């Protein structure tokens, strides 16, 4: 399944050059420590991460696709993914930079750090992070804050990005992706790619 059209500009990153394109789907959760480990090996400037070494994959263009996977056992995980979608809408070219910021601040959104604050308080903390990539705080919160129903009755429709997150969840569920991180190459899940996989192995496998 293709990405929702409105997120094609934010969630797809093409690097390298060549006549052949290799699709790399990254199924990750912003609240998962193992997702952070694999992310640091993929996108961490100044560390010889994969993004800095794509030129070693000769004759191939690498098409990375970010697949949001909120894990249900961390309630705040959904809020982090909603935040990423808000940035994806407001500043598509800043999405991958914001993803790195979320991973860098991951411990601040662990269970112990969110258990005693409201949903809106978490959103407001995330809004401060969004400003680091140039997103206006008020516009960010406008997408995430749950509005009162027009008739004043209890409602359960979520916020302005709730329906946008649903296709991502449907996609990973229908493909049997339940654990993060998971990597698929040209649509096929490859268990050889784990958080412990060295970048050299990434280069080797993507070159085959």
pLDDT tens by residue, 77-119: 999 999 999 999 999 999 999 999 999 999 999 999 999 999 9
Question: How much is the mean pLDDT over the chain?
Answer: 96
Token reading at 183: 């990597």
The total of structural domains in the chain comes to: 1
Tens of pLDDT, residues 118-148: 999 999 999 999 999 999 999 999 999 999 8
- Look at 36-45, 102-111, 147-156, 194-203 and tell me which has the smallest mean pLDDT: 147-156
Q: What does the alpha-carbon distance between residue 83 and residue 91 come to, in Å, rounded to a whole number?
A: 12
- Do the Cβ atoms of 195 and 32 come closer than 8 Å? no
Instruction: Decide: residue 107, CB within 10 A, 0-12 exposed, 13-18 middle, 19+ buried.
Output: exposed
Residues near 168 by Cβ (< 8 Å), separated by ≥ 6? 4, 67, 68, 69, 81
Lowest mean pLDDT among 7-11, 43-47, 74-78, 165-169: 43-47
Q: Please tell me the predicted confidence (pLDDT) of residue 1.
A: 54
Of 208, 207, 201, whose CA–CA distance to 42 is shortest?
201
pTM value?
0.95
Q: What is the mean pLDDT of residues 161-185?
A: 96
Report the CATH number at residue 20.
3.40.30.10
Domain that holds residue 179: 5-206
């Amino acid at each position: 399944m293709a990405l929702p059209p409105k997120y094609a500009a934010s969630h797809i990153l093409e690097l390298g050059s060549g006549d052949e394109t290799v699709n790399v789907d990254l199924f990750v959760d912003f609240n998962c420590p193992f997702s952070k480990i694999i992310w640091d090996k993929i996108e961490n400037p100044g560390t010889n991460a994969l993004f800095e070494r794509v030129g070693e994959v000769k004759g191939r263009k690498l098409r990375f696709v970010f697949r949001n996977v909120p894990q249900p056992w961390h309630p705040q995980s959904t809020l982090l993914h909603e935040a990423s979608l808000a940035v994806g809408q407001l500043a598509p070219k800043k999405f991958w930079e914001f993803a790195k910021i979320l991973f860098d601040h991951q411990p601040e959104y662990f269970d112990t750090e969110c258990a005693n604050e409201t949903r809106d308080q978490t959103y407001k903390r995330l809004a401060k992070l969004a400003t680091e990539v140039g997103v206006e705080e008020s516009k960010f919160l406008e997408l995430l804050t749950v509005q009162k129903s027009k008739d004043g009755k209890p409602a359960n429709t979520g916020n302005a990005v709730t329906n946008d997150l649903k296709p991502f969840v449907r996609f990973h569920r229908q493909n049997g992706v339940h654990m993060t991180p998971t990597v698929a190459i040209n649509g096929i899940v490859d268990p050889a790619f784990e958080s412990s996989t060295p970048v050299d192995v990434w280069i080797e496998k993507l070159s085959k």
